[in-house]
Amino acid sequence: MRRFFIGLFLFSSSLLFSQLPHDAFSHVELRFDTLRLSYTDYKISDEYTFVMPIRQTHEEVELRFYIDTAHSFVPLEVLEGKHYDVTDSLLIIGDSFYRVRLKLNDLLPGQAFSVLLAFDVEGRRRNYELQVTPYVNPKIAMAEESIELFNGEEKTVEVVTPFPEYVQVNEDWVEGDNVNYWLRRDGSGLQLLLQGKRTGEQVFSVPTTLKFVRPINGALLNKGPDIRVSVNVKPTRLRFLNVDQEHVFFDSESRTAGEIQLDYDPRFQMKQTYRVEDVSDGGGRLIAEIVPKSTLGNDKILCDVYSYSYHRISDGYLYIKESGRTLAMTNFNVVNLPMIQEIAMMREGGDWTDNLSVYPGETIELRIRGNGLSISEFDFTPCKQERDTTRISDRIVFYTITVPRDIDRRKVSVFFNDDITQYDLRIREYKRPAPFGFVTIDFGAGRMLLTDEDMDKPIFYRETIEDITLYFDRSKIDVQDRFFGIQELEIEVRILSQNNKLIDIQTIRNVVICPDSSSPRHTFYDGNDCDRASLSLNAHLVRKTFTLDAFDQVLIEVRHASGNGPSERVHIYAERRYNFDVDFSFPAGLLAVDANDLSVGNFIGVSAAIMAQFKFYSKRRFGQPSPFQIGAGFLALNAFNFAEDAQRDLGLVILASIVPVRNRSSFSLPIYIGGGYFFEGQRFLFLFGPGLQIRF
């Protein structure tokens, strides 16, 4: 029994044969469904090939290799290929034939491929390729079964086929006996142009050529199915003369002639004037006059044209007349000579203005007034533009213009029908007040954003305010798609006492801040010395912040110099828990108690005391002193008692006092308690009682 095996591998150096190996097989057959294809049925370039119809892009087929019993060979292999996969094992059926099933992939008309084989014939290794040529039988037909056109005129009809890309088209018109035609490509589809030459019903076929071969009557041809065309060519006594340009410009004042080219007609006389009217019979409205000047080599006539009335192609045909007799038909637009009279601009939420200053990144609407605008084109490069097709006329058009964020020029020229005009969009840089999210303040507690909610409330700071510094983060001015540009600020600083008396006021002007290099507009900001990063307030204050007394106030207002936009205020208090001062008081009626025998002495007279006082502030009432004070200093007993038996003495004492907290005068009546050592009597005394206190 003959041995066989299946191996899938690539080979590069084996000999390939282009003819059927008769010494190996009697014949090779390709099968799918009920179709049987023999490898010897067709040749292309003297090589056998399977000519296979395509039903779908992937097809399951069976190959049969019928054994020539006169020769013995082993084994047979189906090698790996790009366009097929082996889906079933290679088997020998009896002693008659080998069978293998393949899945063909990505079948395209005219794209041939090979099935690669390897086998041994009488001990010699042979490699072989089976050629497969796919094809389709395309259907081609006209989209309209019955077509009507006038003699001498052209009409375009769509050609319907599922494979338009495989149909070859004509390069130009094809002359027919009764109808001229031109099969051409229109995008991805096909269309047939028809031109009638003889009136009546005309039925004819347009031959087609394919970009691949297919079997026809036992031969391989690239001929496609014919397109059956049925045309009814209607007679007309008027010939339609084509014009080389679509528009003729109306000139109501100077009546300057324009030039057009008409199709040649032998009935035209040179230098003779012909009327162009809008109706074929009778006296119509005079649209223009045509004066032929000379014949041209392109089968055209060069004519002067004088316009008298407006006309649009959509209004109907125009008729060329001689002495009231209509000679031919034509059509063209008669419109105003394109010109610009006014350009106005409107921003969102604004009114129309003739100030054409725009800003980077903004979108505006332009209104252009003039003549002949419906046939005109405008260009605003490098801006993005969109024409409003819902509001358009010959005298007014609208455009939506978007200015690029990184535009690198100072003006955008307005081009009108490819010609530069006197109008420009002038590029201006933003100088609008920005929110103060780019400003931070540091008064000793670290940097705080000026727009923080905590900054809206009074700030109580117990430490010495060495300085107050404003910092400017220039990267936060122009952010994302919102540009604010150069910021011109004013900073007003007021120093108030505890009693709201003005101590110092300074207004710092000309604080100019520019966006940094993170802004697309950075290089276009021409502000001088506008790269400021911080500002020290002490550099501008007469009363420095580090000299503030207890509960003095610093009021800071940051605003835009223009007076527009937001402003921010900061209120800082120099908070204290206690205060130190020197008081001069007159204790009187103090009761003295000797510390040695605890005997109660007499009430002393008016004394004098100089004390270093520690004063404390209330925790509940801001800025209000506590009634309790404590001090140390010198006390002169009976300093103002001039009696001969008065016991005067000088002592070093510590006294606590309770003073009235609502007394705002320099005089007060405190209550003292304390004690000390008196030098003359060399004794310790405890003292308490009322007194008189004077503040300086």
Q: Which of 151-160, 395-404, 590-599, 648-657 has the highest mean pLDDT?
A: 395-404
Instruction: Name the pLDDT band for 535 (thresholds 50, 70, 90).
Output: very high
- Mean pLDDT over 46-61 rounds to 89
pLDDT of 394 reads 82
Higher pLDDT, 695 or 32: 32
Would you state the CATH architecture of domain 141-234?
A: Sandwich (2.60)
Mean pLDDT of the chain: 84
Q: Which pairs count as long-range contacts for 321-327, CB under 8 Å and 24+ apart, including other chains?
A: 321/274, 321/275, 321/276, 321/277, 322/267, 322/272, 322/274, 322/275, 324/283, 326/238, 326/280, 326/281, 327/238, 327/265, 327/267, 327/268, 327/274
Q: How far apart, in whole angstroms, are the C-alpha atoms of residue 487 and residue 494?
A: 23
Place of tokens 């090779």: 28
Q: Does a cis peptide bond (omega within 30 degrees of 0) precede residue 382? A: yes
Distance of alpha carbon 264 from alpha carbon 131, whole angstroms: 57
Q: Give the type of residue at 271.
A: K
Q: What is the pLDDT of residue 634?
A: 87
pLDDT above 90 covers a percentage of the chain that reads 35
How would residue 261 be classed by pLDDT, with cut points 50, 70 and 90? Answer: very high
What is the CATH number assigned to the segment(s) 339-427? 2.60.40.10
> With bands split at pLDDT 50, 70 and 90, how would you rate the model's confidence at 661?
low
Contact present, 412 and 382 (Cβ < 8 Å) = yes
pLDDT at 609 over 60: yes
* Cα gap 290→303, rounded to integer Å: 6
Distance CA 499, CA 465 (A): 19
What is the arithmetic mean of pLDDT over 576-602? 70
Q: What is the predicted pLDDT for the residue at 23?
A: 56
pLDDT value at residue 600: 58
Q: What angle do CA 625, 631, 636 make, to 5 degrees?
A: 130
Q: Where does 531-660 show beta strands of DSSP type E? A: 534-536, 553-560, 567-574, 578-587, 591-594, 600-603, 608-617, 625-637, 649-658
Q: Do 141-234 and 436-574 show the same overall fold?
A: yes
Q: Which of 181-185, 394-398, 427-431, 546-550 has the lowest mean pLDDT?
A: 546-550
Q: Return all residues near 637 (Cβ < 8 A) that are at least 6 apart.
A: 592, 604, 607, 647, 648, 649, 650, 651, 678
pLDDT-derived band at 178, boundaries 50, 70, 90? confident
- Mind listing the pLDDT tens digit for each residue in 284-334? 889 999 999 999 988 899 999 999 888 988 888 999 998 888 889 999 988
**pTM, two decimal places:** 0.50
What residue spans define the domains of the chain? Answer: 16-135, 141-234, 239-336, 339-427, 436-574, 578-694
DSSP state, 546?
Answer: G
pLDDT at 246 > cutoff 70: yes
Q: Does residue 54 surpass a pLDDT of 80?
A: yes
Provide mean pLDDT across the span 102-119: 89
pLDDT of 136 > 60? The answer is yes
Whether the pLDDT of residue 270 is over 60: the answer is yes
* Res 121: pLDDT: 67
Q: Facing residues of 592 across strands?
A: 687
User: Is 16-135 in CATH node 2.40.170?
Assistant: no
pLDDT of residue 267: 84
Here the tokens at position 209 are 């050529």
Sign of the CA dihedral with 138 first, then 142, 143, and 144 last? negative
Q: How confident is the model at residue 153 (pLDDT cuts 50, 70, 90)?
A: confident
Tokens of 177: 């006996």
Residue type, 288: A
- Kindly report which listed range (195-199, 636-640, 666-670) carries the lowest average pLDDT score: 666-670
Q: How would residue 412 be classed by pLDDT, with cut points 50, 70 and 90?
A: very high
Beta bridge pairs of residue 306? 289
Percent of the chain with pLDDT over 70: 89
Residue 222 has pLDDT above 50, yes or no: yes
**341 closest CA partner among 386, 311, 373, 378:** 373
Residues 552 and 501 sit within 8 Å (Cβ to Cβ): no
- What is the arithmetic mean of pLDDT over 458-464? 86
**pLDDT at residue 233 is higher than 70:** yes
Tokens of 125: 């290794």
pLDDT attached to residue 345: 95
Q: Average pLDDT in the 128-157 region?
A: 85
In whole angstroms, give the CA distance from residue 44 to residue 29.
17
CATH classification number, 239-336, choose in 2.60.40, 1.10.3470, 3.30.70, 3.30.390: 2.60.40
pLDDT value of residue 74: 57
Tell me the per-residue pLDDT of 72-99, one tens digit each, with 9 for 90 and over: 555 778 888 888 999 888 888 887 888 9
Say yes or no to pLDDT of 541 above 60.
Answer: yes
* Token reading at 498: 């505890």
Tell me the CATH class for 436-574.
mainly beta
